[in-house]
Structure 1
Amino acid sequence: MNTLKMKDWGLGLGKHVVIAGPCSVETEKQIDDLCNSFEHEPQIGMFRGGIWKPRTRPGNFEGLGEEALPWLQKVKSRLHIPVCVEVANTSHVEAALKHDIDVLWIGARTTVNPFSVQEIADSLRGVDIPVMVKNPINPDLALWVGALERMHDVGINKLAAIHRGFADPYDKIYRNKPNWNLAMQLKLELPEIEIINDPSHISGKWEMVQSVAQRALNFGIDGLMIETHPTPAEAWSDARQQLNPEQLLTLLKEISFRERIDFENQIPENLKEMRNSIDHIDQKLIDLLSDRFHLIDKVGAYKKAHELSVYQGGRWKDVLESRIKLGTEKDMSEKFMKNLLIAIHDESIKRQEKQIANKDVEPLTII
């Protein structure tokens, strides 16, 4: 049972907050150049900057540390917006608080370790500061929720989640696979919390940032965190995924922010009618699947009686090919059909194995 029941969450920045700034704070001039670009852009609601950079391997640039924090104070005075930095241990927290940083975020490499998260939480006990928590590197919803709970348990009420994608060595499209369903599951579990999407870390390539950002907004994500550098090609870290200010401002003009309807009384009547029709069709689908699995149980009983193996490769190959063909002919994608059929097949195998293992099942001699 989760402890996150507060109603006063959020960072207080309104809808569709845009957080922008460099992956790493490098020079004072870099920060001045970004301030010049953002000075008259009301859509930029918060400035981000990496001060401490936890790198996968030693020898890469790991951030300037505390010496760069005064430059972020200049951002506050010039742009009149909050600034945020990543913290990974208690000394980072102390330095950030000493330099009047407005918002802290916990990175993916830290979220994965409950010991580290708890140490940071304990160092923030009694401190009134908003905290954003990135998803862990691996797709583990419980770790993500747990990190938010640890912050809440020490009195941090202003919380947000950052969806930056999950490591997947087999994915060739994204740097970090988005796994949108996990972000949506977090929203279902913690409906009061804001979720900020980080399309920079998901895409890993500046050319994909806009499409990922738009997809996030289509899912009803509350805001965006986009890495921005005056000259990305010269960036000291993550150069490939950063936009320059002009690209960022073009992106903000071209993407479409989506409204999310949270309450039934806000739903337009025509949309409500379409949803009712979908509910009716879903009921039919569930009834049909139930009928199919009852037949599968009979197949399992037959295989038990005749000592047949549960998996029949030729039959499965025929089902997969023929059903994918039927689906694509009715405007469904091949990928969707394959995933659907695999899920049904896996459940069918489990049910047949259960039939074979159950001594009380009467074996069938005919189907």
Structure 2
Amino acid sequence: MEKRYCIIMAGGTGKHFWPLSREKAPKQYIDLLGTGQTLIQDTYERMCELCPKENIFVVTINALFEITKEQLPDIPEEHILTEPTRRNTAPCIAYANEKIKKIDEEAQIIVTPSDHIIQNRQNFFEVINKGFEFIEKNDALLTIGLKPTRPETAFGYIQIEDTSDITDIIKVKNFTEKPNLELAEFFIESEEFLWNSGIFLWSLQSISNAFDKHLPELSELFEEFKSKFNTPEEAEAVQNIYSGCKNISIDYGILEKAENVYVYCGNFGWSDLGTWNTLYDCLPKDESNNIINQQNVMIYESNNSIIKVPKNKIAAIQGLDGYIVADTPDALLICKKEEEYKIRKILNDIKFKKGEDHI
């Protein structure tokens, strides 16, 4: 257990959940599920069951350091790693690897996003513990996969070499990041593909070797500045690294190229909470299939909608079918659920017409 380390990736913007999710407090820092805990707090709590608390690192951006410290007071400040700019998951993981390497070169690592839902914790823990056992004995990069239930274009897909027993750890044949709808439909029909959850396990040695082989430029940048880590010059060193590295995901940079990639298919009530529709699917509904976050909301002839308003506000909703209503003190969104993809354009319009403070 003492060799286990965790990297929580928490630098995302969560713009799909505007106006609840904002630049200063993205979705991982808000209580979207109404449980009294934010998504990152829930993730941290799960990880504490799998790793020693003192071995957990969070990687986020500079602007989110204070809110991370506030929401996760048990994490030492030196374990909250801040990026000067977003460069996707490969640099984020490489940065945390470098910090862990200073502590334990024999570390076994789990990497997880900060904003996922896990509804069956016991099943999740069983999958992750088996994953740790596998990477302790094998030079392997292990991803946690999930059996797809629909042709989803927002997820990555993993093609497996052997479909005879997906309950075991299987060699990966190919990775495909976020296919179009036609390709996603083909993947579902073929029954050779799993969803990529974005949760990974590997030894520090295995992932370091993979960076050296497949992303040598990034490895060289960290090698050049490694003497500055854990010194007052670390922030400047990280700034230099990030200004010189490209924006690249761990999937595209390493997992699509490496030959020692494996997948373990889990079944633990997972959702990446990427859209309002995925949130709608995860939460309990009333007799009219509405999700309502508080008792002061009064509903009339409305169905299949998700209503999120401040707890101190009375709201009356009449005649809506299949809508998102998300209200905050300074912004209100009313949008058809089936057209939530338009939120990106809405945010661009607000940014240019009303200013970035509203995003």
Fold match (TM-score > 0.5) = no
TM-score (norm 1): 0.24
Structure with more of its chain in helix, by fraction: 1
Higher RCO (C-alpha under 8 Å, 6+ residues apart): 2
TM-score (norm 2): 0.25
